[in-house]
Structures are given as C-alpha cells and as structure tokens.
Amino acid sequence: MILGAIIAGGQSRRFGSDKALASVDGKPLLDHVAEALAAQTDAIIVVGRSWPGITSIADRPTLDQGPLGGLCAALHHAQAHGFETVLTVGCDILPLPAHLPALLAPGSAVVKGQQLIGLWRADLASALEDYLESQPDRAIRGWMATAAVRTVTLDASFHNLNTPEDLAAFTKDQAA
C-alpha cells in the first residue's frame, strides 16, 4: 500500500503569499496536487499544515527541520498505519507527473532544489529521525546518501511553482 504525502509546511517566501492557496483554474494549487496524488496512491495526507478534507499531521521530530521534517512525519505515519511506501510531493508541482509509483522504484527520488518528489520505504522513519537529530544542516542530499536513495530523472515535464513568475509561466504553457 502506498501513502501519498503532500509536504506543505513551507513559508512561500519567494512566492510572496501562501502558494498552496494560489488559484489555478479557480481551485487552490494544493487541491490540484491532492487530486493527482490521490489518483496514484491508496490514501493521502498533508504534512505541515491543515487542509480541509485531508488528514493532516505535524512535522517530526520538531517543526523547524525543513521539508525533511515533513518526510520524517510522513514515514512515521505510514508505518503506524500499515503503508509500506510513501510517495511524497511538494504542494507546488504542476502538473503532477502521472504513474509516479511505476516511474520511481522504491528508494528513489527526484531532487531539484527542495522539491522532494520521491518514493520512500516507510521503514526508514527511525533512520531519518536519527539523521535529523544528528545533522544540523538537514540536507536532503545528505539524507539521500545516508539512506542510499537513488536520484532519478523524469521525462515528464512539470513546473515547480516557487514564484508568481513560475505560476505565470505555467498558465502560459497551459494556454499554448
């Protein structure tokens, strides 16, 4: 069973306002991601914020760990609820590529910047918690090396909406 986790507790500093709420085709960005993720997984959660209609959990071990704190919480939640793997995405990826569980073998991730699209074994939860408690820089690449996570490249194109300009470029692409 695969748990889909939207890692969504960021500050949206570059976007200038809460990007999860940004309207795309009349619907908040996070709802687009949630819909696409739900179609590829057995259940979904949101990590790092609350969202109507979706189970929400807080980062672990504390709230100031960055996206890996969101991943750590998702892995623990998955283990506690009988999911073997977790598919993570940010709340700012559009369109979410299809068939991610097939494209990402368990133990692989697409890492550009901090976007954290990955398919992770839930039993890495304790190892990640130990990593976060021992590594002050909380670097995603450092964690991937520690956990022997492979980096993969996806053929599918998608936008990582970090700024209003990214959103404008996505809208322009859609209209083309």
Ligand X SMILES: Nc1nc2c(ncn2[C@@H]2O[C@H](COP(=O)(O)OP(=O)(O)OP(=O)(O)O)[C@@H](O)[C@H]2O)c(=O)[nH]1
Which parts of 95-154 interact with ligand X (CB under 6 A)? 114-115
The tokens 């991730």 sit on which residue?
A: 109
Kindly report the three-state secondary structure assignment for every residue of the chain. CEEEEEECCCCCCCCCCCHHHCEECCEEHHHHHHHHHHCCCCEEEEECCCECCEEEECCCCCCCCCHHHHHHHHHHHHHHCCCCEEEEEECCEECCCCCHHHHCCCCEEECCCCCCEEEEEHHHHHHHHHHHHHCCCCCHHHHHHHCCCEECCCCCCCEECCCHHHHHHHHHHHHC
Q: Of 2-10, 37-45, 75-83, 124-132, which part binds ligand X (CB under 6 A)?
A: 2-10
- Could you give the C-alpha distances from 174 to 24, 117, 127, 159, 168, in angstroms and in order? 11, 22, 41, 11, 10
> For ligand X, which is the closer residue by CB, 17 or 175?
17
Would you list which residues are annotated within the binding site for Mg(2+)?
A: 92
Would you list which residues are annotated within the binding site for GTP?
A: 7-9, 19, 92
**Binds ligand X (CB under 6 A): choice among 2, 3, 4, 12:** 12
Q: Of 34-42, 85-93, 139-147, 167-175, which part binds ligand X (CB under 6 A)?
A: 85-93
* Cα 8 from Cα 1, distance rounded (Å): 22
> For ligand X, which is the closer residue by CB, 7 or 22?
7
**Binds ligand X (CB under 6 A): choice among 28, 66, 97, 118:** 66
Residue 34-53 contact track with ligand X, rule CB under 6 A, x = bound:
-------------xx-----
Q: Least distance (Å) from ligand X to the CB of residue 51?
A: 11
**Binds ligand X (CB under 6 A): choice among 29, 32, 44, 70:** 70
Q: Least distance (Å) from ligand X to the CB of residue 118?
A: 12
Site of interaction with ligand X (CB under 6 A): 7-15, 47-48, 59, 66-67, 69-70, 90-92, 114-115, 162
